[in-house]
Structure 1
Amino acid sequence: MDPSINAANLATPSASLSPWALFVHAALVVKLVMIGLVCASIWVWAVIFDKYFTLRKVKRQADEFEDLFWSGGSLDELYENIGVKPTHPMAAVFSAGMGEWRRSARINGIEMSSEGVKQRIDRAMSITITREMERLERWVTFLATVGPVAPFIGLFGTVWGIMHAFASIAQSNNTSLAVVAPGISEALFATALGLLTAIPAVVAYNFVNNKLNLFAERLEGFAAEFSAILSRQSEAKENQE
């Protein structure tokens, strides 16, 4: 077999170093790595957009609800209008606390200001906060996983591609740059895809995680204030009686 023919065949991909050409001429294992990284990158961006718009929405809904809550209106009326079927996390926390407070009020012989009632109200709101945050945190773990793992997957594709390139060089008995460059470029393209997948995932995870922590603190603060309001109202009713 003429070595020059093999060298020419191997040098053909160098005519085009576009992403598609690098993918087409890559080894099968490297292609699978590239496809996996592209799919992961698409999913990462889908999660990023979903969390961005979701967090904006729940923040706006929380602002609107707090405006109603602190407007001085009746809590019972607010509960009937919003709390019965809550549509966002803060309304769900309010519904849990108000619902437990109403159930306790219907139990004969129980003082509304008793420690047991306070604990049940706090527990109901705490459980609701945990449930709502778990719903908001869905797929955030995916970002945390892809961030550190994607570069290593890309590196695996690179190592495999370089091994394949060296095997082709050995078969051609030609070490010219025209022979080496295409195979090395295909291999390094896998690393580039790994970094392009990992960097947005890491940045998005840090951003989303920070926003979620702040929102969780906001819900906990609201729950504490609401619990104090219910406690004061219970004590006022008992003093009147």
Structure 2
Amino acid sequence: MLEHKKSNPLIALLGAAALLMSAPAMAVAATAPTSVAASAAAPEAPAAADAATEESSASTPHMPAANVDFVSMFMGATVVVKLVMGLLMVLSLISWILLIMKLMDFSSLNRVTTNFLEAYRGARSIADINRIAVSDEFAGNPLADMAAVATEEIQLSKQAGLSISGEHRDAVLHRAEASVAAVQTGLAKRLSGGLSFLASTGSTSPFIGLFGTVYGIMNSFIGIAQSHTTNLAVVAPGIAEALMATGLGLIAAIPAVVMYNIFNTSITNYGTRSEQFVSELMNSLSRQLDKGA
């Protein structure tokens, strides 16, 4: 009995050591099911993410690619923007028609004027000047009309029995000069025809186009609010249509301004040419009257 009681502490120590040595293995065994469960659940996460992506893609409506050609953008615009763009296209068309007409008019005017001046400078009397001025070749030319009215005034004064080379000389020249001034006034109106339209088109077209743009963009923002989406594909066509109105405004305005400046310069140059001719004509008439024509 005494030996049995003495061997108990040794057995207890051996049992404790065995228990400590087996503790890590028990811990690994205890955590193994959790790791297995986690590794089994891990593949399910990407699958869930893919399912969520597919569901999101299915819930988002597919937006077809917008057609960006001019006709489709014009037809897709609102009524107000269509009216603005239509007005700008009409203004641009009229401006180009005026450009063609004025270019042809100035080309013909300068050519006939050059021919008339060559013939006029070969005249030797007031009768010769009148004959050249009223010829069909120079019909409608402003400088020829000036020479015609001036010589006709002198001939009418002569037919009235006035002393055109004597005491009535200055009065006759004054009346001839007044007749030439009347033709010059008509010339200024003729040459400046259409310039007011070009000036108005050049100054107002950008603002008309800007009005269409502001209205179109405002309409696009209203569409954003109603559709409850910020997707750019939904509102981009409307914004593009609105910006096209400003583009058309610039397309109408820029050529109109350029045309106005070109024609204004041409009118100034021809006005200078006509002033020089008037001085030349009055000197020639005065010289002929001094010679007793």
**Is TM more than 0.5 here?**
yes
Distance 2:184 2:61 in 1: 65
Q: Which piece of structure 1 moves more, 202-211 or 169-178?
A: 169-178
Return the letter of the residue paired with 1:166: F
Distance 2:241 2:114 in 1: 51
Q: Which piece of structure 1 moves more, 139-148 or 82-91?
A: 82-91
| Conserved? CA contact 2:180–2:278, under 8 Å | yes
Q: Which has the larger radius of gyration?
A: 2
Give the % identical residues. 35
Q: Residues 112 and 27 from structure 1, CA distance in 2 versus in 1: closer, same or farther, beyond 3 angstroms?
A: farther
Q: Which piece of structure 1 moves more, 97-106 or 76-85?
A: 76-85
Can you give the 5+ residue segments of structure 1 that lack an aligned partner in the other structure? 1-6
Alignment correspondent of 2:261: 206
SS for the counterpart of 1:15 is coil
Alignment correspondent of 1:80: 131
Return the letter of the residue paired with 1:102: Q
Distance 2:248 2:183 in 1: 40
User: How far apart are residue 56 of structure 1 and its match?
Assistant: 0.6
* RMSD across aligned positions (CA): 2.1
Distance 1:19 1:84 in 2: 53
Q: Which piece of structure 1 moves more, 74-83 or 220-229?
A: 74-83
Counterpart mapping for 1:53-92 below 5 A: 53-83=104-134, 86-92=139-145
Q: Which has the higher contact order (CA 8 A, sep 6+)?
A: 1
Return the letter of the residue paired with 1:56: S
Q: Residues 8 and 140 from structure 1, CA distance in 2 versus in 1: closer, same or farther, beyond 3 angstroms?
A: farther
Alignment correspondent of 1:125: 180
- TM-score scaled to structure 1, two decimals? 0.89
Q: Deviations over 1:125-162 (max 9, x none)?
A: 11101102212221111111100110000001111111
Return the letter of the residue paired with 1:42: L
Q: Residues 58 and 69 from structure 1, CA distance in 2 versus in 1: closer, same or farther, beyond 3 angstroms?
A: same
Question: Are 2:156 and 1:103 aligned?
Answer: yes
User: How far apart are residue 118 of structure 1 and its match?
Assistant: 1.8
Question: Are 2:229 and 1:174 aligned?
Answer: yes
Q: Deviations over 1:178-232 (max 9, x none)?
A: 1121111010000000000000000000000110111011112101110111111
Return the letter of the residue paired with 1:89: P
- The alignment covers a number of residue pairs equal to 231
Alignment correspondent of 1:163: 218
Question: Are 2:194 and 1:139 aligned?
Answer: yes
Question: Are 2:177 and 1:116 aligned?
Answer: no
Q: Residues 104 and 112 from structure 1, CA distance in 2 versus in 1: closer, same or farther, beyond 3 angstroms?
A: farther
Distance 2:258 2:124 in 1: 42
Counterpart mapping for 1:181-220 below 5 A: 181-220=236-275
Distance 1:133 1:161 in 2: 43
Return the letter of the residue paired with 2:111: R
Distance 1:123 1:155 in 2: 49
Q: Residues 180 and 80 from structure 1, CA distance in 2 versus in 1: closer, same or farther, beyond 3 angstroms?
A: same
SS for the counterpart of 1:237 is coil
Can you give the 5+ residue segments of structure 2 that lack an aligned partner in the other structure? 1-59
Distance 2:238 2:162 in 1: 82
Distance 2:145 2:130 in 1: 10
Return the letter of the residue paired with 2:140: T
| Conserved? CA contact 2:213–2:242, under 8 Å | yes
- TM-score scaled to structure 2, two decimals? 0.74
